[in-house]
Amino acid sequence: MNHPRHALVVALVFAASCGGAESTPPPDPGPTITSVTVSPASPVVEIGSTQQMSAIANSSTGGSVSGQTVSWTSSDQDVASITSGGLVTGVTEGTSTITATVGGVAGSQVITVELADCEQATPVSLAAGEFQAYEAGECLLLPSGSAGDYYRVVITRPTSIENPSDVPNATLTVTGIGTLQSAAAPASAVATAEGAPLAGFPEIDGTRLLENDALKESTARFHMTMLEREMRERGPGPDGIAPNRASFGLRLMADPPDRLEISSEFSCSATPVPQALINFNDDLAIYQDSTERSAKPISQTATQEMLDYYTAYVRDMVPQYWGDVSDIDGNGRIIVTTAPSLGDSVAAAVFTGDLRTNGTCASGNVGEVIFFNADLILGMDGADPDWTPLSTLAHETKHLVSIRKRFDAGTGLPPLWIEEGMAEIASTMSSRIAWATTGGPALGTQVTSTNLIATLCATDPCGFTKEIFGLVDALANTIVWSSTQPNSLITNPDGASEFHSIYASGWHFHRFLGDAYGNASTPMGDAGLFKNLVASTSPLGIAALEQFTGRTYEELFQELAVAMALHNNSAPAPTRSFTTYDFTTAMRIFSAPAVLAPEGLYPWPVTTVSDDDLSAGFTNATFEGPMGPSGMRFHDFESNGSGTGAQIEVSLAEPAEVLVVRIR
């Protein structure tokens, strides 16, 4: 059947559609941009400072046009640079035209860049090897003097408050009145104790050491968490402390039992579990958790290495440096056993509850026990052994002694960076004794790249020996701590390198104390200082440092910064200095990874304007970066002898101090 009406409707709809397309008006183009206003008008900015510019697009109707893209340019980037967002930075004295372009229409303002307002600059007058401290914010004038005059400016934050989130920016602005040269790594400016810097790096890969460092940091956190829990639950003592029956080595040793029941959960309410005897000598008895042993048994070979190392290099050193190891269980030995509860992230631990009586810690082992990660001990087996457990024995034994002394005194432990730093002194001293015994440099002499490489590269390829491992590990950790930003002596600050370590910073600081105040250039001459620092009759933490050095913490921190600034370069050595390590060369032994082979030399100044040429000259510059609590940043300047000199201004939240050190 035909439907003529339906056909007509379709035709009409089609016609209406076509007619609508022909009658739609063109879109409104909107107002036309006729001009662009840039503000502020005729801005003035100091070198190193910034100015935010803004632009308004004006329309033909008298209003403004919003939502438009603005393109910014500077006619002279060497005078004033500008970002895509319109932020101008003063680079050097002069003028530049700042232009904003919107929709093809441009507007501009002339910006003037001036010298920092530093008419009352304090002139710096120092002889080589001298230093002077200034408040941050004080404008300083480094005189140009003669070509080659060389200054090191150290920005520091001497605070003992362990707040990892306290990381303000430090800004150093240099205004050259004449021409300066960055001296981040000028081969001409650094004379080390062994002459010129190393011609090349030996092929030593420190990746394993960085992995160990991560393990150390998680171990330190575990130690502190465990101690804090113990103090909350039981109080610091002295009530409930098991009696110290005797010191080690005062009587004949009976063979230890083949099995022990030991609680390894680091809790006073844990259930003891069976431990199987693996190996022993007169000083240690090494066990393993019986359940764990069926899955991954530690070997006689690895445990014998631990026994031999402890007896030869730890047993006699610890009493000299820290005091006698207690013997509250009367068995004449330290018990070493594995603890599955440590997991993968903790190397070893000492449980403070084990030093108490069962009346105050029901499942404490009432004895001297060091718990190890079994995987760490297993790492000593094989063709490429990891010798970490050896120096770790010395580290943990020191903890046994100092925890006992603090309990006897009725106090807690010192800040973590102090306790772990001194434990690392024990670790590295055991390594130095082992090295000296097997042909390395004598105790009290300097560790240099020459004697390190002679040992590490005695065979091809270069590799770590068990005697030197703990010492090289400490050097590697210290490189990361001091060459990356932000750094901190007393905590791991927010934003720091993942390998930043208070083990390293604490060791480096206490190594300075031992050298500068303990006469470490005499073999083991620093032992008396460290023994005093942990004595049960001594004050705790920083108070002990101040008592036995006669200096405040702020003064010690300043002396450390100066010692680092003047360490083994062409300047005369400071009164307080490092004597047992040549860090300038010793820290250049690694070829990889990059974080262990930073550009430049210890203590790694951050003053550079060119990644391609660390000694590139400049007239004006701004250097900015985060600064952690008790952190430090080194900036080096070498004069070419022209002009008046350089104005230096530092901006940093309190507490802040600027040290200017004359190198030559």
Q: What does pLDDT average to in each consecutive run of 10 residues of the chain (664 residues)?
A: 35 34 58 90 83 91 85 91 91 87 93 74 93 93 88 95 95 70 39 39 81 76 71 63 70 80 92 97 96 96 98 98 94 95 91 90 94 96 93 97 89 90 97 97 96 90 92 95 94 93 96 98 97 95 97 98 94 94 93 88 79 61 90 89 84 94 93
Q: What b/e string do you get for 85-116 counting C-beta neighbours within 10 Å, with b at 16 or more?
A: ebebbbbbbeebebbbbbeebebebebebebb
- Which helix (DSSP H) or strand (DSSP E) does residue 400 occupy? helix 388-409
Give CA–CA dist 657/410, Å, rounded.
36
Looking only at the bridges linking them, the beta strands covering 140-143 and 122-123 are: parallel
pLDDT on residue 408: 85
- CA gyration radius for the chain? 33
Paired with 639 in beta bridges are 180
pTM (predicted TM-score): 0.81
Q: Are 170 and 654 in contact (CB under 8 A)?
A: no
CA distances from 407 to 39, 354, 536, 633 (A): 67, 12, 8, 38
**Phi, psi (degrees; rounded to nearest 5) at 80:** -145, 120
Name the H helices within 103-257: 207-234
- Least Cα distance to 172 among 616, 605, 545, 641 occurs for 605
Give CA–CA dist 301/291, Å, rounded.
20
**Phi, psi (degrees; rounded to nearest 5) at 493:** -75, 155
Q: Which residue has the tokens 């130095």?
A: 432
pLDDT on residue 222: 79
- Report all structural domains of the chain as residue ranges with CATH numbers, in order of start: 33-114 (2.60.40.1080), 122-184+605-662 (2.60.120), 207-232+240-586 (no CATH)
pLDDT on residue 5: 34
Give CA–CA dist 570/564, Å, rounded.
13
Q: Which residue has the tokens 């004697």?
A: 451
pLDDT on residue 230: 65
Give CA–CA dist 649/170, Å, rounded.
11
The helix/strand count (H/E) of the chain reads as: 15, 25
Q: In what order do the strands lie in the sheet with 348-349?
A: 259-262, 273-280, 284-289, 334-338, 369-372, 348-349
Give CA–CA dist 30/20, Å, rounded.
24
User: Apex CA 500: angle with CA 497 and CA 501, to 5°?
Assistant: 165
Paired with 77 in beta bridges are none
Paired with 135 in beta bridges are 657
Q: Are 424 and 505 in contact (CB under 8 A)?
A: no
pLDDT on residue 18: 39
Establish whether the linkage from the previous residue to 523 is cis, with ω within 30° of 0: no
207-234 helix and 502-517 helix, angle to the nearest 10 degrees: 90
In a 3-state reduction of DSSP, which class is residue 189?
coil
Give CA–CA dist 31/62, Å, rounded.
9
- The burial class, CB within 10 Å (0-12 / 13-18 / 19+), for 254 is exposed
Give CA–CA dist 527/422, Å, rounded.
11
